[in-house]
Structure 1
Amino acid sequence: MCGFLRLLGQKSANPPASPGAAVDKGESPSHAAARELREELGITATVGRGLAVDWVSATEFGAPPVMRFPGETVFVYDGGVWDEARIAAVRLPDHEVTAIEFVEPARLPELMAPGDARRALSALRARLDAGGTVLLEDGRPTAPSVLDRAGVLRTARRRSPYDFHPGPAPDHLAVRQSWGWLFAPDGRVLVLLGPDTGSACLPGGTPEPEDGGDPVATLIREADEEAAATLGEPIRLGYLSDPGEPCARLRYAAPLRALGPSRTDPATGHTYIRVLATPEQALELFDWGPQAAGQLAAAHRARELLGIPRAEPRPFTEIDGPADWRRSSDPK
């Protein structure tokens, strides 16, 4: 899942930072990054994929006048996903670094210097977007993606720390939600981004009286209201259980047949930004915990039943106008 590692140093006047430092004479940037991981965290790792190259103007980083030409270039690399074993292997040096902490990306602006936070968030969005290395100037992309324009990760990701259960929900549990993994023909799913927060959600919502107690009707209505989406026949995936409340939060998968022109959701007053992403990319936009793996597996099983291929990673694609994937054989 998408997160960020910060270092806490002994000098409280310096803001927390990510692992790394200056390149030594004759050293490549990737070798410098790997060396700093060893020196600061005691971790031996191969630094491969570059996420961002940031040109930092001479006035941005507060250097004395004698050092203000021509500025500096900062390389940001993907440190990978760290499991419990890798985290337990961290060994801090006797100087400089006193602690490490994994934090929600949305907290970076309050914890880091402004330029460092912008750079980190831009790099994390590039990692989500699978679009290659992004070029930055003072932490800002020179060619902003839809994730940059929406401000993804600047607010805390939607949490759902509930257990996922395949199959039907018990009859005694009231249905509180009905959400869907809506698959385009290329295997990607529809994700909605809030225009004012950058937060993500899958289409769906809470039952209303006009749904007649039918959770499928709830999903179809909500998908139309939120995304102007037309669906094929949904497949039930399972439900989430809430230990604090005896209810079921249902999850479905369905083929995405068409999208109409974007319009305002009557429930929220938002006109969502509609994007297509692989299911794995979509999960990175949420904070669902370990249960997410079971829900993702169920979504892929349903995708296979629908005869839809597995999507290849590619940049998020905004759908800002109508789209129609219906075939002549589809039911009207």
Structure 2
Amino acid sequence: MSVFLHENSIRNIGSKNQSTRITEFLLLGLTDNSTIQLFLFVFFLVVYLITVLGNCLMITAITLSPSLYSPMYFFLRILSFVDICYTTSTVPKLLMDFLSEVKRISFMGCVAQLYSFISCGGIECIILAVMAGDRYVAICMPLRYTEIMSWKLCMLLGSICWVIGLLNSLTHTIFTFRLPFCKSHSINHFFCDIPPLLALSCADTTANKIAIYTVGVLVSIGSFLMTLISYIFIVTTIVKIKTMSGRLKAFSTCASHLTVVILYFGTIAFTYIRPISKYSLDQGRVAPVLYGIMTPMLNPVIYSFRNKEVQGSIQKIFRKNFGIC
């Protein structure tokens, strides 16, 4: 019996030592085909530039335009900043890897990437719900909108988004990197994400799965339900509007927001909420491209560039600084 325990302790020590010796991981990326990698490099470079420029324009327009000093644009500015951070957490490293034969990432770099990616994802979930609540107050209680959506409340809601998002990510990061990674150091993904990292561990990952299904689900599903409930009330109110022009304008705003909500929350649910046993690492590499890369690029177009006030503010900025538009 003592010999058996001794052998088990040696194995455990060996696993822990193997885990502590890991100073870097290898990312398998999106594809091994060199021709496709070149195409993907150009594609993601263009997407990243559009994302950064579009969201920077949004932030600049809101900051420099007094006419846009309202709660809705306050939250849009937060969303734009988060979207820049969201894509920056993965795309620059992805672009470097497309040009590298061996796609390495240091252990601490992996920790930082996972933490920043999950943080931005959580903040985006909550800010989308807050924006839906803002639209609910504006459409369903227009006479009390200024009173309810005070700047004090806006600052509080913005702070709550950041605190919950950062704490949510901290929980997942701690639970993930406390594991010994003794099966392999090759991550079947283009960035450090929770499911492929769990697949590398030889330890019990029950606590991690519980964290995914509790903390993660509370943030994502809770935000989605708040958004859904807000829009149920919004649609109910819009139906009662007598003028067709008023209905069309309100429905257009709701449809744009709901499109992003469905795309964003739907891909998150597809990736994280289904049973771990049915999770495909190959399929899981595609979903983050949608909600972590493509959605941040589309947000400025959907939320901002279709808005005449924002368009006018951007034109004024270009006219004043570059003499165009």
Between Structure 1 and Structure 2, the one with more strand by share is: 1
For normalisation by structure 2, the TM-score amounts to: 0.24
Q: TM-score by structure 1 length?
A: 0.24
